[in-house]
Amino acid sequence: MTEGHDEAARQLVAQFGFDRSRLMDIVQGLQRRFGHVSDDAVRSIASALRIHAVEIEDMVSFYAFLDRKPRGRCRIRLSRTPVSMIKGMAAVASAFEAALGISVGETSSDGAFTLEWTSDIGMADQEPAALIDTTVLTALVPDDVPHIVAALRDGRRSAGVGPVLPKAGVRSSLVQPGPLLSGGHDNAAGLQAALCREPVKVIEQITASRLRGRGGAGFPTGLKWRLCRQAVGEEHYVVCNADEGEPGTFKDRLLLSEFPDLVFDGMVIAGYALGSRHGVLYLRGEYAYLLDDLQAVLAKRRQLGRLGVAICGTIGFDFDIRIQLGAGAYICGEESALLESLEGKRGAPRDRPPFPTERGYLGQPTAIDNVETFACVARIMEHGAAWFTASGTAESTGTKLMSVAGDCKRPGVYEVPFGITVNELLDLVGAADAEFVQVGGPSGQPVAPKDFGRRIAYEDLSTGGSTMVFGPQRDVLEIVLQFADFFVDESCGWCTPCRVGTTLLRTGLRKVIAGQASLEDIATMEAVAGTVTRMSRCGLGQSAPNPILGTMRSFPHLYEAKLRADADISGFDLDKALGEAIKVQGRQPVPEEG
């Protein structure tokens, strides 16, 4: 029996009202306390919730930040992204390995530390960055590492206030504000304006603004809200998608840390417009460090009457927001996977129809919108639809928050009007010599200099805002390989084409980079990429081949330069295949004749 796990599990299940849909909170409570979710804990939860242990294992084993076996008491997660690597993460990682005496992926023998890689943690403008438990360390250099490890060994990390660990701090990312990020943001002006109208008039105003989802997919928000409002259900739900997981993006982090009331106002406005009483903000696990501050903002809003019963004196409009912390799964940024996660299950996307507006959270009509979309909503209600449509293009109204990082002088968040060209954006950030820009994260588009005249807009380069800039000194194929790794790590596994296809694509790309691929191998990769794009269940799989397909189109010479001369002999490595036999039998192969 693992000491205390059974009791803790039972207490947590009771604390969350014996509600199976709160399994995420229950297991996170155990993970925080014991560092893993033990077999005993699983059994206890299962019996208390009257479900099967296999259902809990199904859920827990899905998330990168939940463990079934004990790991180190302190978890050091190093962000591994193309941006972190060009900013020197490899040397930082080596410094951690040296200071801890373990390799990445290992736990120290005293059980004190586990050192591991993690996908992007939303700090692209301040890489190399690391997560130490929930604390974020930024702009690391190898010399920091001995001090960090010494501080951790001293136990100086739990002080709670102030940057106790060296480099424990996230600086503001805002470089260029625009209309959205200018003016007051905690005076509830947009909310007050909305509450003066009929709910349907609020939706009309949003529709008139032609606001589209800021996550990148660009679905018209007004239409989504109308469909959700019309859908019949016992409850309606408002969900804010703060699972900002696309590598290279960090603009939602800025909104949540510096403009949280704008986001919450937008959610309350949605609640009013949709006739909803419940809002949920799904916060990515990597942003756990924001949780206490966000809870404090919510508490203050309740005091001010901006949450709770009869909001701002509006009799009959009751609405509150809870925050659900995620646990390390990129796929949960996909709205239907987010809903599954919110219901305490593995984050596997759902098939549509039904759409979330019809049957979403707990089977009820649900409007899920991006953090930035809700901020836009609050501003539109404050200033009007015409104010909003004054910027941007006909199809992409308003401004867009762009997260820019990589080889540029001024990384950070830029609020720019839709329609700005890649060139104009590169000028703003100081990246005159850019050779390769990844717009929209790995699932977006690789853009070569010949296409720098293209525009950031739903009708051209559609993006959630992630922009990674790479200079002429970078190896494009290595960057593409890192994106391929990312999709292998983050594929949920539910559907065949994405689960297997992402692995096959990575294998193919490795072969290319090793100089072992023939033209036929390239054609095979293209065929696999096509199948994954066309047959995958959700957006993750459908866009996972984009970095490969996009660079094949934009940088064909890089692939051609790697082709092997002898196309008849495939990339089979005889020496490698004989390695084990040489070791076991202790002799070399007979030299080949002729």
Q: Which is nearer to another protein, 196 or 519 (CB)?
A: 519
Contact of 241 with 282, CB cutoff 8 Å = yes
Cα separation of 96 and 313, whole Å? Answer: 55
Single out the segment in contact with another protein by CB under 8 A; choices: 76-84, 170-178, 440-448, 584-592: 584-592
CA geometry: angle at 446 spanning 440 and 447, to 5°? 105
Residue from 531, 558, 562, 563 binding another protein (CB under 8 A)? 531
- Closest separation in Å from C-beta 2 to another protein: 13
Single residue of 504, 513, 558, 563 touching another protein by CB under 8 A = 504
With binding defined as CB under 8 A, does residue 536 bind another protein?
yes
What are the helix (H) ranges across 343-417?
A: 371-383, 385-389
Site for another protein in 368-387 (CB under 8 A): none
Please say whether the beta carbons of 316 and 310 come within 8 A: yes
Binding-site size, another protein (CB under 8 A): 63
Sheet of 320-325, strand order: 320-325, 278-283, 237-242, 366-370
Q: Is 520 in the site for another protein (CB under 8 A)?
A: yes
- Of residues 36-75, those binding another protein (CB under 8 A): 39, 51-55, 57-58, 61-62
> Exactly one of 502, 546, 551, 554 binds another protein (CB under 8 A); which one?
502
Q: For another protein, give the closer residue by CB, 62 or 470.
A: 62
Non-local (6+) Cβ contacts of 355 within 8 A are: 227
**Residue 34 interacts with another protein (CB under 8 A): yes or no:** no
Instruction: With beta carbons less than 8 A apart as the criterion, state whether 334 and 537 touch.
Output: no
CB of 409 to another protein, least distance (A): 37
Instruction: State how far Cα 101 lies from the chain centre.
Output: 31
According to CB under 8 A, which one of 126, 423, 491, 546 is a site residue for another protein?
A: 491
Among 387, 496, 513, 562, binds another protein (CB under 8 A): 496
Q: Which stretch in 186-194, 452-460, 525-533, 552-560 sits in contact with another protein by CB under 8 A?
A: 525-533
Q: Which of 200, 296, 299, 569 binds another protein (CB under 8 A)?
A: 569
Identify any residues that bridge with 446 across adjacent strands, giving them in sequence order. Answer: 438
Closest separation between CB of residue 490 and another protein, Å?
Answer: 7
To the nearest whole angstrom, how small is the minimum distance from the Cβ of residue 38 to another protein? 11
Q: Does 553 bind another protein (CB under 8 A)?
A: no
What distance in Å separates the CA atoms of residue 321 and residue 73, rounded to the nearest whole number?
A: 32
Contact flag: residue 295 with another protein (CB under 8 A):
no
Q: Which of 110, 154, 234, 351 binds another protein (CB under 8 A)?
A: 351
Would you call 50 helix, strand, or coil by DSSP? coil
Residue count (the chain) = 594
Ramachandran bin of 475, using left for φ above 0, alpha for ψ from -120 to 50, beta for the remaining angles: beta
Pick the stretch among 175-183, 212-220, 412-420, 534-542 that binds another protein (CB under 8 A): 534-542
The piece of 401-409, 450-458, 460-468, 490-498 that touches another protein (CB under 8 A) is 490-498
CB 402 within 8 A of CB 274: no
Region of residue 406 (phi > 0: left; psi between -120 and 50: alpha; otherwise: beta): left
488 is a contact residue toward another protein (CB under 8 A) = yes
**Within 243-262, which residues bind another protein (CB under 8 A)?**
none
Q: Mask 158-187, x = binds another protein (CB under 8 A)?
A: ------------------------------
- Tell me which amino acid residue 244 is: E
Task: State how far the Cα of 170 lies from the Cα of 163, in Å rounded to an integer.
Answer: 10
User: How many angstroms separate the CA atoms of 460 and 471, rounded?
Assistant: 23
Q: Is 82 helix (H, G, I), strand (E, B) or coil?
A: helix
Residue showing tokens 């401004």:
399
**Which one, of 374, 380, 401, 387, lies nearest residue 265 by Cα?**
374
Task: Compute the least distance from the CB of residue 41 to another protein, in Å.
Answer: 13
CA distances in angstroms from 470 to 58, 85, 407, 427, 437, listed in the order given: 39, 12, 5, 14, 6
Reduced to 3 states, what is the DSSP secondary structure of residue 503? helix
500 binds another protein (CB under 8 A): yes
> Dihedral through CA 154, CA 160, CA 166, CA 170, nearest 10?
160
Among 392, 464, 501, 545, binds another protein (CB under 8 A): 501
Give the separation between CA 188 and CA 379, rounded to whole angstroms. Answer: 10
Q: How far apart are the C-alpha atoms of 320 and 257, rounded to whole Å?
A: 20
In angstroms, what is the minimal distance from the CB of 46 to another protein? 9
- Cβ proximity to another protein: between 291 and 504 the closer is 504
- State yes or no: residue 362 binds another protein (CB under 8 A): no
User: Which one of the spans 22-30, 127-135, 455-463, 531-539 is the region binding another protein (CB under 8 A)?
Assistant: 531-539
217 is an interface residue for another protein by CB under 8 A: no
Our finding on whether 462 is near another protein (CB under 8 A) is: no
Nearest to another protein of 464, 497 (CB atom): 497
For another protein, the binding residue among 184, 527, 556, 561 (CB under 8 A) is 527
Asked whether 469 and 405 are in contact (CB, 8 A), the reply is yes
Closest CA to 468 of 490, 446, 449: 446
Residues 6+ apart with CB under 8 A from 81: 119, 120, 124, 127, 247, 248, 482, 486
Kindly state the smallest distance separating residue 135's Cβ from another protein, in Å. Answer: 26
Scanning 136-144, 261-269, 381-389, 581-589 for contacts with another protein by CB under 8 A, the matching segment is 581-589
* Cα separations in angstroms, 435 against 462, 476, 477, 545: 20, 9, 13, 21
The one-character DSSP state at 378 is: H
Interface map 306-335 toward another protein (x if CB under 8 A) = -----------------------x------
Nearer to another protein, 77 or 346 (CB): 346
Residues of this chain that interact with another protein (CB under 8 A) are 39, 51-55, 57-58, 61-62, 329, 346, 351, 353, 488-497, 499-504, 507, 518, 520, 524, 527-528, 530-531, 534-537, 567-570, 572, 574, 576-587, 589-590, 592
